[in-house]
Structure 1
Amino acid sequence: MEKLLQGLIQFKETDFQEHRQLFEELGNSQSPHTLFIGCSDSRLVPNLITGTLPGELFVIRNIANIVPPYRNIEEYLATTSAIEYAVNILGIQHIVVCGHSNCGGCKSLYASEKEMQSIPHTRKWLELAGNVKEKITAMNIPESEMAKREWMTEQINIVEQLKHLLSYPFIKERVLNQTLTIEGWYYIIETGEVFRYNRHNSEFELVN
């Protein structure tokens, strides 16, 4: 905790002063251009990898960067409501779903019931990615190629979440009207590389 408290002081004395005018402008309103949906993993830092300043990204983070399919039900919908707010109120122009290498959430899709026993809410949440597991399982990837299974799961998960986004009527309408773009990114932690999903050839391509 002491490290966090020292960080608060350093922020006020350095970073805040450097961008003081920007923070004053942001004091009463925000107008982000992009909704960034990423994993909660501590190694993924949206503003750091995109080189953006406060006020540019509206960020949603959860286990395995999952987008629940659109539905109208009487329950508390954290991710769904944040997407709705970003699109319908803030008028964002782009949505990025960003997954990453060595994703614990994606890895947990293959965990046993015993391994998931202590995290029942996480297990329930990951049911939303059940279709990803089914697709990977159907590929019959051998035990000797578990690294391949890992990155394929992470990438296919990103593609599935893009499909989920299009189940939101207000997103599909804007995409068709070309007033909103949606993209899938795959971030490699150990190299800093980001791969962008190309819908035309169904491949992730390195951003140069």
Structure 2
Amino acid sequence: MIDQFLEGNKIFIEKDYKENREHYLSLSRSQSPKTLWIGCADSRVAPERITNANAGEIFIHRNIANVVPVHDWNFASVLEYAVAHLKVHNIVICGHSECGGIKALDKDMPDSYIPLWLNNAIEAKTRVDARLPPPKTTEEAKQRLTEMEKENVHLQIEHLRTYPLVKKAESEGKVKIYGLYYILETGILEEIK
């Protein structure tokens, strides 16, 4: 696999880096992304690919189920750096279809860490289950999953707004917060209101 990555890097250098050398050289000196992207670690949902963004345009934090944990130093340091130092103008939380993390909310898992992490998303399941009857068909089960994935984006935006630096930046009009949802089956990225 490493050989494949190194070969891929050679292709990147020939097809992209050399053609955009000045852009990459400027990125070697500093970065000024306009957006902090909080997304799922799912390998099928690469932010730069699904948005056609260039290197340096998005500051990215990814984890299982695009969670915004309320008490996590790793996340908080990324958030603080993005808002206070990089001065991003936008914060995006992006969920996606067929999210394994959200599917796991319905499972009793023997794992040590994943269930603890997913406690940050369990309220999304609770909210959807309060709105929808238990699914009776495959289609209803798929719709419930989609609702949970989208509700999780809303929940994580609520978590994001508990951070004082986000509250302040948003109230001063320095930051806008967006929820997005990526549909694997179609490639479509849609805004969640």
User: Please, which runs of 5 or more residues in structure 1 have no aligned partner?
Assistant: 199-208
Matched, 1:58 2:76: no
Matched, 1:143 2:136: yes
- Determine the structure 2 residue equivalent to 1:29: 30
What is the aligned counterpart of 2:95 among 95, 99, 108? 99
Q: What does 1:10-89 align with in structure 2 at a 5 Å threshold?
A: 10-69=11-70, 71=71, 77-89=73-85
Q: Deviations over 1:115-160 (max 9, x none)?
A: x21x321111001112112112223332321011110000000000
Matched, 1:180 2:175: yes
- Determine the structure 2 residue equivalent to 1:205: none
Distance 1:197 1:151 in 2: 12
Q: Deviations over 1:12-54 (max 9, x none)?
A: 2221111110011111211110001110001101111212111
- Determine the structure 2 residue equivalent to 1:161: 156
DSSP-derived class of the 1:120 partner: coil
Distance 1:126 1:24 in 2: 40
More moved, 87-96 vs 133-142: 133-142
Distance 2:188 2:134 in 1: 25
Deviation at 1:5, TM superposition (A): 1.9
Deviation at 1:170, TM superposition (A): 0.9
* Residue identity opposite 1:32 in structure 2: P
Distance 1:128 1:143 in 2: 27
Q: What does 1:122-141 align with in structure 2 at a 5 Å threshold?
A: 122-139=114-131, 140-141=133-134
Q: Deviations over 1:49-99 (max 9, x none)?
A: 212111110000000000012x4xxxx621221111111111100000000
- Determine the structure 2 residue equivalent to 1:203: none
User: Please, which runs of 5 or more residues in structure 2 have no aligned partner?
Assistant: none
The count of aligned residue pairs is: 189
Distance 1:4 1:27 in 2: 21
C-alpha root-mean-square deviation of aligned residues, in Å? 1.2
Q: Identity over aligned residues, as a percent?
A: 40
DSSP-derived class of the 2:113 partner: helix
